Amino acid sequence: MFRTLNPATGDLIEEYPFVSDKELEEQLIQLQSSYVAWREFSLSSRTDCLRKLGTLLLKDVERFASLIGLEMGKPIRFARAEVEKCALVCDYYAREAENLLRPVVQKSEIFSSATKYFRPQGTVLAIMPWNYPFYQVFRFAVPNLVAGNTVLLKHSPNTPGCALAIEELFDQSFGEVKPLSSMFLSHQQCEKAIKDPRIVGLNLTGSVKAGRAVASLAGQSIKKSVLELGGSDPFVVFADADVDKAAKIAANARLSNTGQVCCAPKRLILENSIKDRFIESYLNQAETKKIGKPADESSDLGPMAREDLKRQLADQVRRSTEAGASVCSPNCPAPQEGFYTSPLLLLGGGVDNPAAREELFGPVAWVDTFENEKESVFKANDTDFGLAASVWTEDSKRANRVAGDIQAGVVVVNGSVTSDPSLPFGGVKNSGYGKELGEEGIKEFLNTQLVMEA
């Protein structure tokens, strides 16, 4: 059962039963038929569909933004921005698909000619999360669809309305061929779909536990998988940095989406001499944030998406304090009803406390310190995750050295991490593997076929 509650009140919105096994089989047949037709569409026809999709998104942005807020609690300003970013993805791939998919002539010492072609392969299963219920789907589906693949979407159980709205958008934009289908699948049905020969690969954004499970199933069937499994991103600040600016950016990034962001800074690793100043600036910035209802234009933070997520975060804070971490609480009160929680900073407690070892998926960050560059890199890398990182320093040579030594898929110097449609995004270690977006993202589920002439 897909069951969604209003996170601002805890009230039930709606329940959706799982599809039957028969309906799943019928949809797999339909998607295979759609793929056979869709791959024959000209690239210009596919990009025309993307332009229409982007137009429809912006035309109805308020409805979609309100739906995002209703189902997972994102404040309306930021939900609106999420929908608009989906339109940017459509625009980018509509403009750049021809360049990204153009055959590449390869030099050969043996053959007279060799050309790499990028061929679609079929239907890819997308298992998508709730924290960016529109953008996560679009950043995966749009490049795959324009390249000629089709998509079976299994969305998060607490954002089913978003899943249906997305399917409707794609139906309106892509016509009768219907290259994307959304289904309410159980775990067992997901497993069945992964094993089905009509599914050629899978993309998952979710937990490490879920990533291990689906990667194992994909491996058993010799299928490509791309995994984005979250992070515990280091935010390394040296004493020569603009400390107040760094603290402001850190607070804004950490508290964005009520802290429910995979690539947000979660471990604030500060040169010891600036720790107190940074913490003061961070707390001051946090206190400017208003926690309120998602529909309120003035809200900066909404509720957490689900009650179990709120409980899990509270348990991590409790266990971290029991391990020796201290708590700094900005004056940022949260409503009592619903799944609201207030921002916190956790300080110290040793490198084995939960705040240092686990991903904090909510408006809580952990503070640690270092004495020199070598120690900063060691502490940044002292994690099982490797999604993204930030390095703050006015010394460009040091910035390049530290960025090169940090084990992460993305490193930003003197800024915060965000995804860009034109740039590849993905991590290493327990943050997963493979890329989304950019040239690398569009080719993950394509067959790079080499055609040679003797």
In this structure, are residues 203 and 214 in contact, taking their beta carbons and an 8 Å threshold?
Answer: no
**b vs e for 35-63, b when ≥16 Cβ sit within 10 Å of the residue's Cβ?**
beebbebeeeebbebbebbbebbeeebee
d(CA 351, CA 359): 13
Catalytic residue (choose from 262, 263, 332, 359): 262
d(CA 379, CA 398): 16
SS3 category, 181: strand
Tell me the pairing of strands 150-154 and 104-105.
unpaired
d(CA 95, CA 90): 9
What's the burial of 390, exposed, middle or buried (CB within 10 Å: 0-12/13-18/19+)?
buried
Tell me the pairing of strands 233-237 and 265-271.
parallel
Distances (CA, A) of 124 to 120, 173, 306: 10, 19, 28
DSSP 14-36: EEEPPPPHHHHHHHHHHHHHHHH
DSSP 232-275: -EEEEE-TTS-HHHHHHHHHHHHHGGGG--TTSEEEEEEEGGGH
Q: Is 280 considered catalytic here?
A: no
Token reading at 240: 């020569």
Residues forming beta bridges with residue 450, ordered by sequence position? 116
d(CA 237, CA 391): 6
Catalytic residue (choose from 71, 96, 167, 228): 228
Using the 8-state DSSP alphabet, how is residue 394 labeled? S
Token reading at 281: 């600036």
d(CA 283, CA 299): 18
- For helices 135-146 and 160-174, angle between their N-to-C axes, nearest 10 degrees: 30
Token reading at 122: 């079929």
Angle at the Cα of 244 (from 238 to 246), degrees rounded to 5? Answer: 55
Q: Is 262 considered catalytic here?
A: yes
- For helices 43-59 and 135-146, angle between their N-to-C axes, nearest 10 degrees: 160
Residues classed as catalytic: 228, 262
